Amino acid sequence: MGTKKSSFNFQPSVKNAIRFFICLLCLLNFSCKKKSVPDVDPVVPDVYVTYSNTYRTYGQYWKNGELITLPTPGNFVNARAIYVSGTDVHVAGDASSSGGQYWKNGVVSGVDEGLPSMLLYDLVVSEGNVYTCGDGFNSRQLINQAGYWKNGVSVPLDEASARGSRARGLCVAGKDVYVAGSLAFQNETAVYWKNGVVVTLGNRLTTSYATSIAVSGKDVYVAGSQSVDIGTRATYWKNGTANFLTNGSEFSSDVVDIAVAGKDVYCVGNFQYYNSTRSAKLWKNGELQNLPGAVRVSSVFVFNNDVYVAGEGLDNDVKTPMYWKNGVPVVLPNDSNGPFASSIFVTKP
């Protein structure tokens, strides 16, 4: 089709001047619109950190500088995992005299329907459902049994009731529920369950453990360790393929938590050396990142491209609960009982 001609016969110079004027108006208008929108302050998130210590008679978590106490009917309480959904704060852990414990907004309840829970290690809230995982007690075979509970009701896991087993990590992706743990074959062996169906990761002839799990698209990432010689090496599996994160020069190491953000894989883990010293590490895509003063870590969380790690570090040569934001340590309240920062959750206020 030909170009439609205007009914006005402007000279080229006049046309150019008008075009320039119109463009200038558009630019000014666009700029004014941008300036009329107030600058958006960076989101200051809420940071939640649970405390774990076997010498406390109550559970605790920290939120933005405030310590919140969790009531419990048992003694010697550990709060091990936290998840915030809307205005609800969910915490999972255990008490010495009453087994697995779950708190919602500070109200405590047991988790034992179908399988008595002993220890709860992880917690996820998805579409209004609360999922917890940990160790139950199989009274018929007198063994620890890996378990996960949906809204307090136990869901079976393949082979978990037939042999000693553990559950340590939990992930819910859509309608699929993933649990990371181990089964006792010839040796304790790293596995995960997808909707109750077991997938073996480690070699049954050697010892391995799975402690955490993350899912991104079709990829399944599992954190843990594998035995090498007399020690262990920090490992993560991607779709069943093992990846060592160390060169094996340490006596032992493990990965305790894993998180995936976009194409980046974050792992945190703990080291013990042959001289009995200890340290803690963060890896991004297999490369070590700096965690100043870190002695022990428990969990990693990514929010708005910021990386948060919870654990224990040295403050003036004294061990104290801490978290690190992008490698910068934040010292948490301490007392003579020596609490440990056992998990971290970060969310928009």
CATH code, 183 = 2.120.10.30
Is 331 part of any domain?
yes
Per the structure, the complete domain to which residue 112 belongs is given by 47-347
Position 38 confidence tier, pLDDT thresholds 50, 70, 90: very low
pLDDT greater at residue 272 or residue 32:
272
Backbone angles phi, psi at 28, to 5 degrees: -65, -40
- Torsion sign (Cα): 249, 250, 252, 254: negative
How many structural domains is the chain composed of? 1
Is 137 part of any domain?
yes
Is 60 part of any domain?
yes
Q: What is the pLDDT of residue 74?
A: 67
Whether the CB-CB separation of 131 and 177 falls below 8 Å is answered with yes
Residue 8 CA to residue 165 CA, distance in Å, equals 85
The average confidence (pLDDT) of the chain is 87
Is 32 part of any domain?
no
Is 25 part of any domain?
no
**pTM to 2 decimals?**
0.86
Residue 115 has pLDDT above 80, yes or no: yes
Among 306, 146, 295, smallest CA distance to 211 is for 146
Is 35 part of any domain?
no
- pLDDT digit string (tens) for 157-213? 999 999 999 999 999 999 999 999 999 998 999 999 999 999 999 999 999 999 999
Is 265 part of any domain?
yes
Is 11 part of any domain?
no
Determine how many CB atoms are found less than 10 A away from the CB of residue 304. Answer: 10
